[in-house]
Amino acid sequence: MKYHPINNRLFIKNRKNFTSNMTPKSLAVFNSNDIYPISADSTMPFEQHRDIFYLSGVDQEESILVLFPDCPNEKHREILFLKETNEHIAIWEGEKLTKEKAFETSGIKTVYWLQDMEKIMFEIMTQCDTVYINTNEHYRANVETETREDRFTKWLKEKYPAHTVAKSNPILQRLRSVKDTIEIDLIQQACDITEKGFRRILNFVKPGVWEYEIEAEFMHEFLRNRSKKFAYTPIVASGNNANVLHYIENNQQCKAGDLILMDIGAEYANYSSDMTRSVPVSGKFTPRQKDVYNAVNRVKNEATKMLTPGTIWADYHVEVGKVMTSELLGLGLLDKNDVQNENSEWPAYKKYFMHGTSHHMGLDTHDYGILTEPMQANMVFTVEPGIYIPDEGFGIRLEDDVVIQENGAPFNLMRHIPIEADEIETIMNS
Ligand code: GLY
Ligand code: MN
Ligand code: MN
């Protein structure tokens, strides 16, 4: 792991919050992700499943966490099953968690090697009535792959068909959406690394540079600051590429006069940051580009103010739509007729701004959170309006990550990342 150790108070507290939501005489199981194969003996780099990480801090493959708060044997109220390691195995496989290190990381005292799992599971399954399984109910999830968690669930249900099954996911969706101060600090670190990358490219971008060269500059800065990777596949989109919302090829040359939209963020300790900036290739916006840029920035500022406790996500989007409509009228992109005759299911502004304004952000870039429930303090959201104008050869999006406060405006985790058009120009020309 490239990141510094995380205070295990976080994981201890997360488990306590989770178990306080469980029914009597129940246990819950969480699995690591597989290491996904490519072909031959090639594999993708390991990425831990965010739920077992959230509850234990264990960032290692082939790990299982069991929580059984009512277990008659106190020793079995929290169990980690890990891949065996010892000095000999370490020579071949590199550093893996020892039982002591697993305790330090997670605060869990009972650690068994994986080969003891079936025997111990038999003992504790006979002591409980309900088993919580961990299914993926994220509103954007679209998974065809059978995960390690899915395989475990299949095995468990087949072997113990008489147990009642319950769902962990709704509990985790609620818990993970409200961040602890330790988590906010980790997200802040991810945002600070992203800032370093952005400042680096402001003095790098010039006519003739290739989009992938900009991507490489970000990656360089991320890696040297203990981020292992981009938090999501980055978008570096010059000119009309910015109007392809999911453009990820990043393989075109940037031309003088164009804008470059960069949706790019570092991960740190498995926490994401999610930033978008739009900058002029030549270091200076045209008057029209600047007008549109400032309109997007105003929408972003207005939207941010609406992220307060009690706000409902869908209502917020209706309000942001009104602000955007007024800006598009000001820019001459819509006229009064367009608005008067608009279809309420697909309002006129969506011609130029067709995606959502905010999503939860955290261990997943599109993080857990139940969108029909009111916003709460310490939820982290993105704010990311955009205006996309293929006819004019550019698209602009601006995106920051903010923390909802008990009172007043949200706290901007990207407050130090330049965003004002004039400031961007000044830095690019310095
Ligand atoms: N980078 C993904 C998003 O902005 O939602
Ligand atoms: Mn986003
Ligand atoms: Mn983004």
What pLDDT shows up at residue 86? Answer: 87
Nearest CA to ligand 1 atom 5: 366
Interatomic CA distance for residues 30 and 62, integer angstroms: 11
Instruction: Decide whether any atom of ligand 1 lies within 6 Å of the 194 Cβ.
Output: no
Interatomic CA distance for residues 174 and 54, integer angstroms: 13
- 9-50: per-residue pLDDT in tens? 999 999 999 999 999 999 999 999 999 999 999 999 999 999
- Give 367 Cα–ligand 3 centroid separation in angstroms: 12
- The structure tokens listed for 238 are 């010059």
pLDDT cut 90: percent of the chain above it? 97
Instruction: Decide whether any atom of ligand 1 lies within 6 Å of the 232 Cβ.
Output: yes
- Give 379 Cα–ligand 2 centroid separation in angstroms: 14
- Beta carbons within 8 Å of 353's beta carbon, 6+ residues apart: 324, 328, 385, 386, 387, 388
- 135-187: per-residue pLDDT in tens? 999 999 999 999 999 999 999 999 999 999 999 999 999 999 999 999 999 99
Q: Which atom of ligand 1 is nearest to the CA of 274?
A: 1
- 320-332: per-residue pLDDT in tens? 999 999 999 999 9
| Substitution site in 229, 358, 367, 382 for ligand 1 pocket (most atoms within 8 Å of beta carbon) | 382
Instruction: Decide whether any atom of ligand 1 lies within 6 Å of the 365 Cβ.
Output: yes
- Give 40 Cα–ligand 3 centroid separation in angstroms: 34
Nearest CA to ligand 1 atom 4: 274
Instruction: Specify the residue for token string 């945002």.
Output: 191
| Substitution site in 246, 248, 359, 396 for ligand 1 pocket (most atoms within 8 Å of beta carbon) | 359
CB 251 within 8 A of CB 177: no
Instruction: Decide whether any atom of ligand 1 lies within 6 Å of the 274 Cβ.
Output: yes
The mean pLDDT of the chain is: 97
- 76-85: per-residue pLDDT in tens? 999 999 999 9
What radius of gyration do the chain's Cα atoms show?
24
- Give 274 Cα–ligand 1 centroid separation in angstroms: 6
Q: Which ligand is nearest to the CA of 358?
A: 2
- Give 230 Cα–ligand 3 centroid separation in angstroms: 11
Tell me the three-class secondary structure of 28-90, residue by residue.
EEEECCCCCECCCCCECCCCCCHHHHHHHCCCCCCCEEEECCCCCCHHHCEEEEECCCCHHHH
Q: Which atom of ligand 1 is nearest to the CA of 355?
A: 5
Instruction: Decide whether any atom of ligand 1 lies within 6 Å of the 270 Cβ.
Output: no
In this structure, is the dihedral angle defined by the CA atoms of residues 308, 14, 223 and 236, taken in order, positive or negative? negative
Q: How far is CA 255 from CA 163, 205, 391, in A?
A: 63, 10, 17
Instruction: Decide whether any atom of ligand 1 lies within 6 Å of the 267 Cβ.
Output: no
- Of the listed ranges 88-92, 260-264, 361-365, 369-373, the one predicted with least confidence: 88-92
Q: Which atom of ligand 1 is nearest to the CA of 263?
A: 1
Query: What is the arithmetic mean of pLDDT over 397-410?
Result: 97
Q: Which atom of ligand 1 is nearest to the CA of 276?
A: 4
- Give 367 Cα–ligand 2 centroid separation in angstroms: 10
Q: Which atom of ligand 1 is nearest to the CA of 232?
A: 1
Task: Write down the H helix ranges in 126-180.
Answer: 148-159, 169-177
